[in-house]
């Protein structure tokens, strides 16, 4: 019967939670303490690594960023120069268009004048030919009369 009572007592401890629960809580607390002891230095080391990485990155990128800013300033300057040159080219193009219009007008006037001069020259030639023919004819007639 003693054995039966001892078994029942140990069974009651397990079922009611008594000593077994205390042991489990102790093990869990010990595990959490061990994890905390290892994780705290790990987190501190990770923090140091992150800070060192940030500092290294900033030092490495600073010259590149400075050069990038210089390059952007140069590109902006080149862009401004291209804009100025483009405006000058537009002005020259406008002037060439104006000159082209004037040359076309002068060409039209020369063509008109040339046509009129050609008609006048042909008319003058016909008039001179007719006059000379008449003069020669009359001079010959007059020479025959005498």
Residue 114 and residue 120 in contact, taking contact as beta carbons nearer than 8 Å: no
Considering its fold, how many domains does the chain have in total?
A: 1
Question: Cβ contacts of residue 20 below 8 Å, gap of 6+?
Answer: 13, 14
> Would you state the pLDDT for residue 107?
85
Residue located via tokens 């030919």: 129
Q: How far is CA 54 from the centre of its chain?
A: 31
Q: Largest alpha-carbon pair distance within the chain?
A: 196
Return the DSSP state at 146.
-
Residue 36 and residue 30 in contact, taking contact as beta carbons nearer than 8 Å: no
Question: Cβ contacts of residue 18 below 8 Å, gap of 6+?
Answer: 12
Helical (H) or strand (E) element with 1:
none
Tens digits of pLDDT across the chain (146 residues):
445 555 555 555 555 555 777 888 889 999 999 988 998 999 999 999 999 999 888 888 888 888 999 999 999 999 999 999 999 888 888 888 888 898 888 888 888 777 777 778 888 888 888 888 888 888 887 766 65
Domain with 123 in it: 2-145
> Would you state the pLDDT for residue 127?
86
> Would you state the pLDDT for residue 69?
92
């Amino acid at each position: 019967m003693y054995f039966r009572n001892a078994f029942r007592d140990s069974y009651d401890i397990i079922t009611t939670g008594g000593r077994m629960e205390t042991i489990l809580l102790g093990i869990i607390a010990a595990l959490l303490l061990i994890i905390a002891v290892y994780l705290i230095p790990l987190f501190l080391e990770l923090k140091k690594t992150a800070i060192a990485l940030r500092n290294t990155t900033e030092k490495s990128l600073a010259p590149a960023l400075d050069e990038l800013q210089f390059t952007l300033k140069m590109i902006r300057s080149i862009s401004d120069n291209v804009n100025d040159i483009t405006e000058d080219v537009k002005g020259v193009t406008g002037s060439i268009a104006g000159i082209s219009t004037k040359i076309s007008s002068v060409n039209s006037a020369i063509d008109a004048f040339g046509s009129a001069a050609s008609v006048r020259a042909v008319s003058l030639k016909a008039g001179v030919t007719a006059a000379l023919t008449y003069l020669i004819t009359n001079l010959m007639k007059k020479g025959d009369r005498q």
